[in-house]
Amino acid sequence: MLRLNEVQLPLDHPEDALHAAILERLGIAAEEMLGYTIFRRSYDARKKSAVILTYTVDVELRDESAVLKRRTGDRNVMTTPDTNYRFVAQAPGQLKSRPVVIGTGPCGLFAGLILAQMGFNPIILERGKAVRERTKDTWGLWRKRELQPESNVQFGEGGAGTFSDGKLWTQIKDPKHYGRKVLTEFVKADAPEEIMYVSKPHIGTFRLVKMVEQMRATIEALGGEFRFQQKVDDIAIKSENGQGQVQAVVLASGETIVTDHVVLAIGHSARDTFQMLYERGVYIEAKPFSLGFRIEHPQSLIDRCRFGPSAGHPILGAADYKLVHHCESDQARGRAVYSFCMCPGGTVVAATSEPGRVVTNGMSQYSRNERNANSGIVVGITPADYPGHPLAGIAFQQQWESRAFELGGGTYDAPGQLVGDFIAGRASTTLGSVIPSYKPGVLLGDLSTSLPDYAIAAIREALPAFDKQIRGFAMHDAVLTGVETRTSSPIRIKRHDDSLQSLNTTGLFPAGEGAGYAGGIMSAAIDGIRVAEAVALSILSKN
Ligand code: FAD
């Protein structure tokens, strides 16, 4: 197979134009090409009146070496790299103990899947409920203001990304092509095929729910075992000369599962579990994260600005954006404000896992056809903003989440303000043209005391700057709701670079977003694969 990059065609090209463009670029006759597949399709909308599609294709040829020879020196023509996933190990017939995976988010699911595919029969523990029951509980907060602390947007089968936009791209380096393995498994679990080649794939909530169930069935068929509503409350660690060794996990029910290999894929909201790990002496340090608000605009405004006359084209879908501003004002100098987890045509969701707190985030369906675009507008903060204890960032998040609950009227409504009023420094009393989508509801008022002063100053400075990139971004009627605090983990559970085991606890594999090693579905899933491999190799070395 031969890979050909940078085949460019206009947005509305006829179907056979790609075939013709490949022949032309390779300088070959039609009978020399046996077939082709699209590896990647992206768009360039910088010139809105002439949006360009750029393809990378894998071409099957009658005589590949002859074409390669003729194209020597053309950096866009090469042998297709081998991106197939290969297992690093196979389980022995007899295992001393089964590996345990804590958490069924993308990290835990992929750790479980890879371990099961290698024959290691993992036990996968999840504090929340199976995804169908979890969906009902999650809607319970959105519709009836009833929060289930163990079954919500953060906790339960599928993890934090289940009720999401399901964006699947990541900027992490992936030299071993684990991302391909993730996409391939998602497609096997019924994700749309196009995620294999579109440059910014997404899945949307309804589909994710089915996929999570499908992946569970696959893991179980391979010998893995899922246990829901089984919160890990404690970890037994034997310590010698400052180094610990995992011996067992203890469930909230009191049951003990003996194991010497534990994947800790608990996400960024398992605050009680972070506390327990800290008390058991597992090495943890504070790390930077971000906080801010969700912003909502009409999706049509974003589409027009990004795509001009091509807005609404089915290939382009609902437009997204990515914005960054580096602050210069006295109160916020040196801080960066950026858009986070942008959800085109989506809704803002109530994402708290704790009673008496309000947290925002965003989700969408595959169609992305809701009226509003939303994204987090967040300010980067560092441990210097919440000094002291390694877990101080958690208390800091909780402080602002409680404040948001209070400002929202104490009913799980989110406090909100129109962008025009926020910038002018006056409370909002009535909505304008943008109707916020957050459920159960939004209580309009003044957000200026809902975050630290420097964060308010930073966002006030950033919004007009963003308006220069997307005209209308700082429109008066756009709505801010708060607060967005669960952007990433406020801690890192540090691990060795090679063995991926905790710095001071052998057999404990901190992984995914909660441990500070991922940020998003794709990177968490990839980290799950890496950790599963490390677990398998460690088991083999001891067996
Ligand atoms: P999680 O997905 O958080 O999973 C951790 C799991 O561990 C949870 O199921 C939890 O219940 C379980 N657990 C925790 N403690 C215990 C315990 N003690 N015992 C047993 N089980 C435990 N990312 C994207 O890339 N694209 C998006 O579009 C996107 N949208 C999002 C929308 C929303 C509303 C939210 C909340 C997040 C979104 N994210 C998105 C972020 C993404 O979901 C996370 O980065 C990802 O889920 C992290 O994966 P993880 O497996 O590390 O942790």
**DSSP per-residue codes, 511-538:** -TTTTTS--SHHHHHHHHHHHHHHHHHH
Q: How far is ligand 1, taken at its centre, from the CA of residue 129, in Å?
A: 14
* Structure tokens that stand for 146 in this block: 């009833």
Q: How far is ligand 1, taken at its centre, from the CA of residue 264, in Å?
A: 12
**Total number of domains in the chain:** 3
Q: How far is ligand 1, taken at its centre, from the CA of residue 535, in Å?
A: 21
Q: Atom 3 (ligand 1): residue with closest C-alpha?
A: 267
Are 268 and 400 in a shared domain? no
305 falls within a domain: yes
Per the CB < 8 A criterion, the answer to whether 153 and 163 are in contact is: yes
Q: What is the pTM of this model?
A: 0.96
* CB neighbour list of residue 394: distance below 8 Å, 6 or more residues apart: 271, 274, 490, 491
Beta strands in 170-260 (DSSP E): 225-227, 232-240, 243-251, 256-258
Q: How far is ligand 1, taken at its centre, from the CA of residue 161, in Å?
A: 5
* CB neighbour list of residue 26: distance below 8 Å, 6 or more residues apart: 2, 4, 33, 59, 61, 67, 71, 77
Are 356 and 467 in a shared domain? yes
Q: How far is CA 361 from CA 104, 293, 432, in A?
A: 20, 9, 22
Are 433 and 508 in a shared domain? no
Residue numbers of the domain that contains 431: 288-484
Radius of gyration for the chain, computed over Cα atoms and rounded to the nearest angstrom: 25
* Confidence at residue 16, expressed as pLDDT on a 0 to 100 scale: 95
Atom of ligand 1 nearest to the CA of 268: 3
Query: Helices 205-221 and 106-117 sit at what angle, rounded to 10 degrees?
Result: 30
Q: What is the mean pLDDT of residues 241-261?
A: 96
Q: Model confidence at 161, in pLDDT bands (50, 70, 90)?
A: confident
88 falls within a domain: no
Are 304 and 409 in a shared domain? yes
Are 294 and 281 in a shared domain? no
Q: Give dist(CA 297, CA 470) in Å, integer.
A: 11
According to DSSP, residue 376 is labeled E
Are 277 and 299 in a shared domain? no
347 falls within a domain: yes
* Confidence at residue 388, expressed as pLDDT on a 0 to 100 scale: 86
Are 410 and 303 in a shared domain? yes
Q: Atom 31 (ligand 1): residue with closest C-alpha?
A: 164
- Cβ atoms within 10 Å, residue 265: 33
* Structure tokens that stand for 251 in this block: 């469930």
Q: List, edge to edge, every strand of the sheet that includes 2-10.
A: 33-44, 52-61, 2-10, 77-79
Atom of ligand 1 nearest to the CA of 231: 19
Query: 233 pLDDT exceeds 90?
Result: yes
Are 138 and 278 in a shared domain? yes
Q: How far is CA 74 from CA 66, 209, 265, in A?
A: 14, 44, 44
Nearest 5°: the CA angle 105, 106, 110 is 115
ipTM for the predicted complex comes to 0.99
* Confidence at residue 166, expressed as pLDDT on a 0 to 100 scale: 83
Q: What is the pLDDT of residues 344-357, one digit of tens each?
A: 999 999 999 999 99
Q: Model confidence at 365, in pLDDT bands (50, 70, 90)?
A: confident
Q: Atom 6 (ligand 1): residue with closest C-alpha?
A: 103
Query: 165 pLDDT exceeds 90?
Result: no
Boundary residue ending a domain (484, 514, 532)? 484
74 falls within a domain: yes
CATH at 25 = 3.30.70.2700
Helices (H), 150-199: 178-188
Q: What is the mean pLDDT of residues 135-164?
A: 95
Are 419 and 537 in a shared domain? no
Per the CB < 8 A criterion, the answer to whether 535 and 124 are in contact is: no
Q: Atom 39 (ligand 1): residue with closest C-alpha?
A: 161
Q: Atom 25 (ligand 1): residue with closest C-alpha?
A: 520
Boundary residue ending a domain (79, 110, 143)? 79
**Where does residue 122 rank: exposed (0-12), middle (13-18), buried (19+ CB within 10 A)?**
buried
Name the nearest CA neighbour of 208 among 363, 439, 374.
363
Query: 412 pLDDT exceeds 90?
Result: yes
Q: Tell me what the pLDDT averaged over the chain comes to.
A: 96
Boundary residue ending a domain (79, 113, 133)? 79
According to DSSP, residue 308 is labeled G
* Confidence at residue 300, expressed as pLDDT on a 0 to 100 scale: 97
Q: Are strands 442-444 and 414-418 parallel, antiparallel or unpaired?
A: parallel
Residue 194 Cα to chain centre, angstroms: 19
Q: Atom 23 (ligand 1): residue with closest C-alpha?
A: 520
Q: How far is ligand 1, taken at its centre, from the CA of residue 446, in Å?
A: 31
* Confidence at residue 543, expressed as pLDDT on a 0 to 100 scale: 78
- Cβ atoms within 10 Å, residue 351: 27
Q: Give dist(CA 521, CA 104) in Å, integer.
A: 12
* Confidence at residue 170, expressed as pLDDT on a 0 to 100 scale: 84
Query: 478 pLDDT exceeds 90?
Result: yes
Q: What is the mean pLDDT of residues 444-465?
A: 98
Q: Which amino acids bring their CB within 6 angstroms of ligand 1?
A: 102-108, 125-128, 153, 155-156, 159-161, 163-167, 231-232, 265-267, 270, 273, 341, 349, 351, 361-363, 512-514, 518-522, 524
Q: What is the pLDDT of residues 167-212, one digit of tens each?
A: 888 888 999 999 999 999 999 999 999 999 999 999 888 889 999 9
* CB neighbour list of residue 466: distance below 8 Å, 6 or more residues apart: 323, 325, 339, 377, 473, 474
90 falls within a domain: no
95 falls within a domain: no
Q: How far is ligand 1, taken at its centre, from the CA of residue 524, in Å?
A: 9
Q: What is the pLDDT of residues 85-104, one digit of tens each?
A: 999 999 998 888 899 999 99
Q: Torsion over CA of 439, 444, 450 and 454, rounded to 10 degrees? A: 120
* Confidence at residue 74, expressed as pLDDT on a 0 to 100 scale: 93
Are 534 and 507 in a shared domain? yes
Query: Helices 521-542 and 178-188 sit at what angle, rounded to 10 degrees?
Result: 100
* CB neighbour list of residue 320: distance below 8 Å, 6 or more residues apart: 200, 302, 306, 342, 344, 373
352 against 387, higher pLDDT? 352
Query: 373 pLDDT exceeds 90?
Result: yes
* Confidence at residue 377, expressed as pLDDT on a 0 to 100 scale: 98
Are 250 and 125 in a shared domain? yes
Are 323 and 413 in a shared domain? yes
89 falls within a domain: no
According to DSSP, residue 435 is labeled P
Q: How far is ligand 1, taken at its centre, from the CA of residue 106, in Å?
A: 7
CATH at 124 = 3.50.50.60
Q: Give dist(CA 40, CA 180) in Å, integer.
A: 12
Q: Give dist(CA 374, CA 363) in Å, integer.
A: 9
Q: Model confidence at 10, in pLDDT bands (50, 70, 90)?
A: very high
85 falls within a domain: no
